[in-house]
Structure 1
Amino acid sequence: MNSPLQQRGAVLIVALVFMLIIAVLGVASMRNATMQERMAGNNKDVNIAFQAAEAAVREAETAMTALSSIDFDGSDGLYLSCPDQTDTTTACSEPDWQQRDSVGWKVIGDDIPDVSRQPEYIIEQISATIDPGASLDSDRTISTQGYYRVTARGFGQSDRTMAVLTTTYRREEN
């Protein structure tokens, strides 16, 4: 038989091993929870930026109703979509959506809460094209349609979050 002096400490070692395992599991669980919280926060920020960009698209579409009297001269967010990349005309030099400065962008009129910057948009007038469904009779006038490209960008709560949306808008010319 073993004496009681030889058995002392075995329970302590087993308890320490179990405590170490529980501590490792606890740290792993906390890291997992922290990572999930960060992902949820980033997802919320991207969603806010997307909604802000949607608001800018909607405002640009509303502004389309007055386009017959607006000159696309490269100011106030109104540009021409020029096929020649070397064209240096002011009306053809729309801003790059990746640039963080707001030069050349039209800031929306409504104040969107909880964003780092207000959403912005530009409208590009695409050259009028012939209606592909029109008749080719020589005595009939071929109607042209106005095409516009709207590029909008919205920002989230963080200044590092930006969502960019582009849409094409068509309307009948009078």
Structure 2
Amino acid sequence: MKRNRKKQTVAMGCPARQRGMALFVSLILLVVVTLVGLAGMRGTILQERMAGGAYDRETGFQAAEAALMLAAQDFTSNPSTWDNEIAANASDLDCSNKSCASNPSGQIANARWKSVTSGTSASEFTAIDSSNPPQYVVQLLGDCSSTGAGGGFTGTTDQNEGGPGGSQLNNQGTCYRITARALDPTASVNADRAQVLLQATYRM
């Protein structure tokens, strides 16, 4: 006996198209998270740079202050030595013609700057970077004598006289300017360092 088998055809429907909304939202969220992370990283780096700059400036100020004090000690103890130095390098150190820049750092030859001696004695200073010590220079400002008087003193051409007990105030002398800097700004290793400059004027 033969059996007739009918072939049955099953119609297969086309698969529904996938909608990409979930993928799109995921990409947007990924971009947002990335931007937030980059912003936070940038803020952290900026804070670190600010903290580093503040620390560098503070240490530079301390170094320049120490150099200024030691320079004053050196100058007042050996004024003739500096007078000879000024006479030998008048173009850099003689400002009696009022032609010198207010900020001599970078204007005076590096050979004129004297580095602070490293050590622990009263005339020495131990810098954080011993290969890059603070420096100072002394310049002649010229005669700074004044005449007349004030504050109840009786003035003469060379001194102010008067006051209780016959006190006297000498107002004649020659002025010198001491400039101290924390580091040499012309050195390539100091390109990104804080530049700290301190000055003091002395009348001898």
Q: CA deviation at 1:166?
A: 1.9
Between the aligned partners of 2:174 and 2:113, the Cα distance in structure 1 is 21
Q: If each structure's strand is expressed as a fraction of its own residues, which one has the higher value? A: 1
1:54 match: 65
- Equivalent pairs counted in the alignment come to 156
2:96 aligned to which of 78, 82, 88:
82
Which residue of 141, 165, 169 maps to 2:198?
A: 165
The alignment partner of 2:83 has SS state of: coil
Q: After TM superposition, give the deviation of residue 46 of structure 1 in Å.
A: 2.5
Please tell me whether residue 111 in structure 1 is matched to residue 126 in structure 2: yes
Structure 1: 5+ residue runs without aligned partners?
86-91
Q: Between the two proteins, what is the percent identity of the paired residues?
A: 29
Provide the rounded CA distance (Å) in 2 between the counterparts of 1:96 and 1:141. 32
Q: Which moved more, 1:21-30 or 1:108-117?
A: 108-117
Native 8 Å contact 1:77 1:106 kept in 2: no
TM-score by length of 2: 0.60
| Pairing partner for 2:135 from 106, 117, 120 | 120
Structure 1 residue 32 displacement after superposition: 2.1
- The 5-angstrom pairing of residues 24-103 of structure 1 reads 24-74=35-85, 79-83=93-97, 85=99, 96-98=104-106, 102-103=110-111
1:25-60 deviations in whole A, cap 9, x for unaligned? 111211221222223223322322222111111111
Aligned 8 A contact 1:77 1:121 in 2: no
Question: Separation in 1 of the partners of 2:45 and 2:34?
Answer: 16
CA contact (8 A) 1:123 1:151 kept: yes
CA contact (8 A) 1:122 1:150 kept: yes
TM-score by length of 1: 0.69
Greater CA radius of gyration, 1 or 2? 2
Q: Does the 8 A contact of 1:73 with 1:80 survive in 2? A: no
Query: Match for 1:45: what amino acid?
Result: D
